[in-house]
Structure 1
Amino acid sequence: MGSVARAFQPEAQTFSDEVSEAVCAQLERVLRDDIFSETTRMKRFLRYVVYETLHGRSEQLKGYTIGVEVFDRPDDFDPQADTIVRVQAGQLRRRLDLYYADAGLEDPVRFIIPKGQYAPVFEMQRKGSESTNKSDTSMVVTQSQVSKTLKDELQTRPGIAVLAFQDLSEGAENHFFSEGLTTEIINALIQFRYLRIISCSPTIERRGQVADIKAVAKEYDVQFVLSGSIRRVGDVCRVWVDLLHAETGEHVFSRSIDKKFIPSQIFDLQEEIASYTAAKVAAPYGVVNRYSRRNSLAQLESMPAYDVVLRYYNMKNSPAISELLSLQERVDAVKEKHPKFSPILAIWSYLRTYQVTQTLSNLDAQLGLDEALEAAKKAVSLDPENSIGYMALYQAHFHKGNYAESERVARRSIALNPNDYSMLAYYSCTNAYQNYPERALAYHEASLQLIDGPPSWFYFCKIILAFRDNDFKLVLSLLPHDITLASPLGAQRFALSAMGHLGDAERPRAILAGFRKADADYDHKLVSTLNLWHAESTLHNAIIEGLKLAGVDTGT
């Protein structure tokens, strides 16, 4: 195909000549191996993405482009309907893992294709004391991952250097597993793009030696260093993960994970451990953000955009109306100064949706959702890899009743960051409202596996399903005991309705008296916002009936 040949022609280089030559030599080395020698299309796939990246076109590596250029799909190819690119990308990642676990163990260049993208990362292994320009290390941060308007400001994002996990097992037969696990952890961490992730693979001569943490931190300009080890005894594999603050030496996070080692399930085991580690360390409520909030407030005051992002994550963990209003003012200020900063637009959209669906807001609901939708669309158009933007876009579409589009966007958001437990939890709730209990519970359980001490709203999926099963006592047990005006409207609605179904008239009467005193239009807002959750008709009617029994004026 002429278009494929064109893609391989040299254009404006984004890597030094030395690195480009090393990458090209490594590509031919990989493609000669038996793992790839008999797979013409897989070889074509790898060659295409490597050359496109070398020639500065990594941002064009999308499912549609690859489907047409590599897999000969027609011009009307729909990557959402035809999953060949995603499936083959998974196969390509597995083949690369197998290659680097055996024949490519000591190769000078490692190809990594992070999940959620098709552009490869070139990891350069240095030998001995040879120096390598820092721009040639595997700093897994690209221009497409940062809004151009705030790129300089966001260079101060927290950085994590990931050291290769050590194999402490007897013999060397598990070395491939420790290296594969390191790669999976890097792939999982880079999904959290408000952090800088640096891969620090050991040199061939120095593999197995203990790294000088402070030296690593100084060389790569990072604040945290993640290291670990594996030890396998029989069919039990123990993985130890340790995150240190480079300057103080403080153990910010340390965890021992025991798993059964089944050779046929190695990839699944590596991915499970990597997802768990990334969620604990780098997720919005993870230890890095909590530590940075606690110890870097003075610095953050001079970084208003980054400050807003962190405050958003803290608020999203356990939303409170007072915090929401305070954050809204900060977001408005940053949005005015940086109108093309994708994360801020996404956060603004999230806050607007939350206001009209979960608070006693005087905003017109449909107008507010239209504004949220517009901001979210702009956020993802500015940065197509912004998972926060896709979550905001999904929420806006869902609450407007655009079900097909919200489902498409939800899957895109989860694909971009499968370890974002807040997205998984919200998605489980919307599925529960629409009477997809199996899917709802699957995503609910997935969210809980990624977070210790989840906030109460993570359990809304179970609250909804319990209500559907008429288990109103369970509903009340899963809700906070004290329901106040500061509680999300969803919690107020389910609590009052469950009390009504249980025949408890006294408590809801007292609650309603206080709420109506604070807002004379309380009953109308409580009922009208239920419509924004698009509950399946049986559930919707049951909620309304319970509210009537509790003394709420439902207007019917």
Structure 2
Amino acid sequence: MTDIPPRCWNESEQAAVREQLERILRSTSFQQSRRRSRFLEYIIDETLAGRGDRLKGYTIACEVFDRPGTFDANIDPVVRVEAGRVRDRLREYYDGAGQGDPIRVELPKGTYTPSIEFRRTEAPPNAAEPQNADGQAHAAGAEAHAERVSGRFARAKRSPVALSAFAVFFLLIAAAGWWAVRSSAPKPVAGEAGGPADIASVPAMAVLPFTNLSGDPKEDYFSDGLTEDIQTELARSRDLRVIARNSTFQFKGQPVDVQKIGRDLKVRYVLQGSARRVGDNVRITTQLIDAKTGSHVWAEKYDREMADLLVVQDEVVNQIVGKVAGSYGAIESSEAKSALRKSPEQIQSYDLVLRAREIVQWNWTPEIFQTARNFLNKAVALDPENSRARRELAWIAVMGWVFRLDEKPVPADEIARQAAKAVELDPADARARMIAASAYFFTKQLDRFGAEAAQALDLAPYDAEIMSTLGCMISAAGDHDRGVALAEKANRINPDASIGWYNSTVYTALYLAGNYRRALEIAKQGIQDMFYVYLEIIPIYGQLGMKPDAADAWRRMQRLYPGATLQSFADWWRLWNINDDEVGRLMDGVHKSGIFEPDARTGP
């Protein structure tokens, strides 16, 4: 990449950088936050004007955040906090939509001067080419972007290759053509008519500016930052339409009539809240209101110590968004209840998907899965392009096969095809990515699993079900530290969404670490009447010498899994891509449980 030094920007370079700035500001990471956008615009304008090396916190506070001349960064950390947010959002943008952009903008730690790098293989427009000792121009090397794969599935795909002048020329032409096509192609946006999440079929909501109750207007940066971050994260959801910031911030400091706001903005839900800082502590309260009825759907308060402002804010924002918009969240639950109240004449394809999701959330049986499948097939009949219905059909196919809930399981290759189709219908749907990842995981396509899992986690970092489900699979495949961390984070965000996945991830990792007593405690927290629960608790009982408990679990497992044998245990763990060494250690617990001793096989 070619690094452009400060104070050397010609007109072509400036035009290219400003075009890149517009791309960034149109992204989800920035479009909901005017403060963040103003910050980035200002530091880039100053850099292009040749003043980048003179950017200071005091100047930014006065010019961007309208602070008075008495501003003191030791008292008011607004610039430092907003710089951290801009830094994180730029990283997020280039990890996602901006991966192939020709210019990369970063905000290095310890400075307010942005780093602007041209990623094209040729030199920037009108810039002199570097010369070698013989006076010949060097050809810049071409970098191929590796597919972004997380954890243990990451693979290096780049190697230095010497290219002839002809090869470089060919690559440049191909890259330019690719970029032109990519830039001009329309991109579906969640909540836009005609996109995957059609306006008519998803609930709309407004996030009102959080109220600063600290008594000091200087603290507005914290409450405003909370609001903007919540808006940004909620806007990721494909099952929700979030009203833009410029429509909601007009209500800042105004008396709130939620039902009138609902009518004016045409939204079903309104999220409002407050922040109060007292010394080193902060209390954040929030409530979700049904704007149609004025009733409360959900409310919560968060008390935190302000050791690290950004860490606290990220944690609270993730928890709020996860409880409101994630799987098993307040809006999904509210919408499902509304769908159940509708008459057959009122039922739409969207309502049928909600009904299917609702019934499979709390209990998995063959009968429930079949009912859900019927709802989803009806949804597809009403709307063949309903990506959510096809997504959920693929999910039921995967889980029905793995957890033995289908009398005639869908063939593995068909499961993978259905999951891939769900992603094709809506590539920005994090849940579709999770379902595709799951299909690839159980069909032993671990490279593809890693790629889809990374995409799902990037698209919905607040969704506890996605996080815990993929965490369970990542841990099973050997990366226990990362898998357990994801499961534990999911459990903090929304325990309802992570139950089962969280428990299995943690107690299996504890078992393999030799902490059998703690493994048993976690296993008993998530007891459900499913065969795998009894199968996985038996080796724990075995290691603890609790043979009567193991025998009881074995009898319960046989009721749900007739014909199960010793081999069934090993087959189960191998289905989950657990390596042979760890399967052997788990089987050791099964043998010690005594369930295959003659006395244990004869029971009621």
| TM-score by shorter chain over 0.5 | yes
Structure 1's 415 and 336: CA in aligned 2 closer, same or farther, altered over 3 A?
Answer: same
Counterpart residue identity of residue 586, structure 2: I
Confirm or deny: 8 A CA contact 2:535 2:553 kept in the other structure. no
* 2:377 aligned residue: 332
SS at match of 1:210: coil
State the shift of 1:202 in Å.
6.9
Pick aligned residue for 1:534 from 556, 569, 577: 577
Residue 491 of structure 1 aligns to which amino acid in structure 2? V
8 Å contact kept, 1:245–1:251: yes
- Whether 1:142 aligns to 2:192 is yes
CA distance in 2 between partners of 1:479 and 1:376 (Å): 30
Retained in 1: the 8 A contact 2:360–2:369? yes
Q: Alignment partner for residue 119 of structure 2, among 72, 96, 101?
A: 72
Aligned twin of 1:353? 398
Name the structure 2 match of 1:63. 98
Q: Work out the percentage of aligned pairs sharing the same amino acid.
A: 19
Cα deviation digits, residues 491-550 of structure 1 (max 9, x gap): 132123334444555555565557557765333655433321011222211233444454
Ranges in structure 1 where 5+ consecutive residues have no aligned partner: 9-14, 16-25, 44-57, 84-117, 120-138
Give SS of 2:483's match. helix
Which of these residues, 375, 383, 396, is aligned with residue 426 of structure 2? 383
Q: Which runs of 5+ in 2 are unaligned?
A: 1-11, 20-25, 27-34, 53-92, 105-116, 122-141, 151-182, 598-604
Check conservation: 1:163, 1:225, Cα contact below 8 A: yes
Matched residue, 1:217: 262
Q: Which residue number corresponds to residue 66 of structure 2?
A: none
* Separation (CA, whole Å) in 2 of partners of 1:66 and 1:322: 49
Task: Quote the residue 1:291 is aligned against.
Answer: 334
CA distance in 2 between partners of 1:258 and 1:339 (Å): 47
Aligned alpha-carbon RMSD (Å): 4.1
Residues 28, 482 of structure 1: CA spacing in aligned structure 2 closer, same or farther, 3 A cutoff? closer
1:432/1:186 CA distance change after superposition, 3 Å: same
| CA shift for structure 1 position 245 | 1.8
Q: Deviations over 1:420-463 (max 9, x none)?
A: 11121122222332332321221122111101455244211111
1:424 equivalent to 2:424? Answer: no
Residue 137 of structure 2 corresponds to none
Task: Name the residue aligned to 2:503.
Answer: 459
Further displaced range: 310-319 or 395-404: 310-319
- In the aligned structure 1, how far is the partner of 2:148 from the partner of 2:468? 26
Match of 2:200 among 138, 155, 167: 155
CA distance in 2, matches of 1:333, 1:520: 33
Retained in 2: the 8 A contact 1:285–1:317? Answer: no
Residues 332 and 354 of structure 2 are in contact (CA less than 8 Å); yes or no, is this contact kept in structure 1?
Answer: no
Do the aligned residues in 2 keep the contact of 1:414 with 1:423 (CA within 8 Å)? Answer: yes
1:217 is displaced (CA, Å) by 0.5
- The answer to whether the 8 Å contact 1:300/1:307 transfers is no
Greater Rg by CA? 2
Q: How does 1:390-539 map to 2 (within 5 A)?
A: 390-453=433-496, 454-480=498-524, 486-487=529-530, 489-506=531-548, 508-509=550-551, 512=554, 516=558, 520-523=562-565, 527-539=570-582
Aligned equivalents of 2:309, 2:559: Cα separation in 1 = 60
Post-superposition shift, 1:35? Answer: 5.6
State how far apart, in whole Å, the 2-side matches of 1:187 and 1:412 are.
Answer: 17
What is the Cα deviation at residue 490 of structure 1?
2.7
Residue matched to 2:281 = 236
Distance 1:335 1:285 in 2: 23
**Paired residues of 2:373 and 2:396 also in contact (CA < 8 A):** yes
- Asked whether the 8 Å contact 1:281–1:288 carries over to 2, the reply is yes
SS in 1 for 2:341: helix
Moved more, 349-358 or 469-478: 469-478
1:164–1:202 Cα contact (<8 Å) kept? no
Structure 2 counterpart SS, 1:385: coil
- When residues 469 and 40 of structure 1 are mapped into structure 2, their CA distance, relative to the original with a 3 A threshold, is farther
1:34-53 alignment, distance < 5 Å: 34=43, 36-38=45-47
The answer to whether the Cα contact below 8 Å between 2:328 and 2:361 also exists between their aligned partners in 1 is: no
SS at match of 2:342: helix
Deviation at 1:465, TM superposition (A): 1.3
Which AA in structure 1 matches 2:144? F
State the distance in 1 between where 2:527 and 2:270 align.
42
Q: How far apart, CA to CA, are the structure 1 residues paired with 2:562 and 2:149?
A: 53
The alignment covers a number of residue pairs equal to 457
Note closer, same or farther for the CA distance 1:456–1:300 as it changes in structure 2 (3 Å cut).
Answer: farther
User: Which position in structure 2 is the counterpart of 1:131?
Assistant: none
- Aligned partner (choices 42, 49, 60) of residue 33 of structure 1: 42
- Cα contact 1:230–1:237 (8 A) shared by 2: yes
Partners in 1 of 2:366 and 2:580 — Cα distance?
30
Q: Could you say if the C-alpha distance between residues 373 and 251 of structure 1 is closer, same or farther in structure 2, counting changes exceeding 3 Å?
A: same
Question: Which secondary structure does the structure 1 equivalent of 2:493 belong to?
Answer: coil
SS for the counterpart of 2:399 is: helix
Q: Call closer, same or farther: CA 1:521–1:251 in 2, change over 3 Å.
A: same
Following the alignment from structure 1 to structure 2, what is the Cα–Cα distance between the partners of residues 280 and 520?
Answer: 38
User: Counterpart of 2:253 in 1: which secondary structure?
Assistant: coil
Residues 172, 483 of structure 1: alpha-carbon distance in 2 compared, 3 angstrom cutoff: closer
Pick closer, same or farther for the CA change 1:172–1:29 going to 2, 3 Å: closer
Partners of 1:313 and 1:295 in 2: CA distance: 11
Q: 2:428 is paired with a residue of what secondary structure?
A: coil
**Cα deviation, residue 360, structure 1:** 5.9
Q: Does structure 2 retain, via aligned residues, the 8 Å contact 1:163–1:201? A: no
**What is the alpha-carbon distance in structure 1 between the residues aligned to residue 477 and residue 240 of structure 2?**
35
Residues 300 and 165 of structure 1: CA distance in aligned 2, closer, same or farther (over 3 Å): farther
What SS is found at the alignment partner of 2:509? Answer: helix
- State the TM-score, normalizing by the size of structure 2: 0.65
Instruction: Write the distance in 2 (CA, Å) between the matches of 1:28 and 1:398.
Output: 39
| Deviation digits for residues 94-148 of structure 1 (CA, Å, limit 9, x no counterpart) | xxxxxxxxxxxxxxxxxxxxxxxx99xxxxxxxxxxxxxxxxxxx972357525x
* Partner SS state of residue 257, structure 1: strand
